[in-house]
Every structure is written in structure tokens, then in C-alpha cells.
């Protein structure tokens, strides 16, 4: 016997408590709607809470069905690949060499990187 089957009375109690709590909140919202300060928002909540209570039972029903018949496992021995064309292609960078300011700036950055490499080599040498 699985541990879930032994815990089933506790799960049923939990579902019933959750649904009862939802119905209590629905009743509270309904009384708020009927009061002098009630609004249509309270009516909406009063109609919404019973759906939440129903969802408690629906979720428990689905849980029991998955427990009795778990989905089939898919064990694949080989490595799977993503088919070509499934993912969007990355955009290719555009080369704009016609901008002299950009070319000058890139040359300046390359000179700084080379100088930084030389300084790093000088510091690591004993």
C-alpha cells in the first residue's frame, strides 16, 4: 500500500476543509453584498468562492487519477537534438566600416587592450 493511500483520509479532510472555508467566504461575501455598504464587487466574490471550492474537489480528483495511473515515462537512450529551424536564428551583426569616428575609437580601444596586456606581463614577471 502506498503512503498516499494511507494518507488519503487526511487528504479528503483537507479538501473538505478547504472547500468549507471557500463556502464560508462565499457566504460572508454574500452577506456583505446584501448589507447597506455592499457593492457588486462583493457579489462577484460571492459567486467566485464556490468555484474555488469546486476546484478543491477537482484538484483532488485529478490527484487520485494521476496516482492510480501515472503518465508513461519516456526513457530515451540517445541524445536528443533540437530540430533545425525550431529556434529563431540570431541576427547577424552588421559591419559598418564607413564611419571614421567609430574606426578611430575601435583602434583606440585595441591600443588600450594591448597596453593593458603589456602591463600585465610586466607585473607578473619576477
Would you kindly state where each structural domain of the chain is located, as residue ranges? 3-68
| C-alpha 3 chain-centroid distance | 29
Provide the pLDDT for residue 48.
Answer: 95
| Residue pLDDT, tens place only, 33-62 | 999 988 999 999 999 999 999 999 999 999
Q: Which residue has the cell 463556502?
A: 23
| Residue pLDDT, tens place only, 86-116 | 888 888 877 766 788 888 999 999 999 999 8
| Residue 44: closest CA among 59, 58, 25 | 25
What pTM did the predictor assign? 0.52
Provide the pLDDT for residue 96.
Answer: 64
Provide the pLDDT for residue 21.
Answer: 96
Amino acid at each position: 500500500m502506498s503512503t498516499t493511500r494511507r494518507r488519503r483520509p487526511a487528504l479528503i479532510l483537507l479538501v473538505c476543509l478547504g472547500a468549507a472555508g471557500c463556502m464560508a467566504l462565499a457566504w460572508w461575501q454574500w452577506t456583505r453584498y446584501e448589507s447597506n455598504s455592499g457593492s457588486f464587487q462583493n457579489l462577484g466574490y460571492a459567486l467566485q468562492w464556490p468555484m474555488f471550492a469546486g476546484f478543491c474537489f477537482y484538484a483532488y480528483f485529478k490527484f487520485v487519477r494521476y496516482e492510480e495511473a501515472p503518465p508513461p515515462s519516456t526513457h530515451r537512450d540517445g541524445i536528443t537534438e533540437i530540430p533545425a529551424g525550431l529556434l529563431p536564428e540570431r541576427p547577424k551583426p552588421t559591419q559598418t566600416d564607413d564611419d571614421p569616428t567609430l574606426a578611430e575609437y575601435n583602434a583606440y580601444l585595441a591600443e588600450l587592450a594591448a597596453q593593458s596586456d603589456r602591463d600585465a606581463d610586466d607585473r607578473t614577471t619576477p
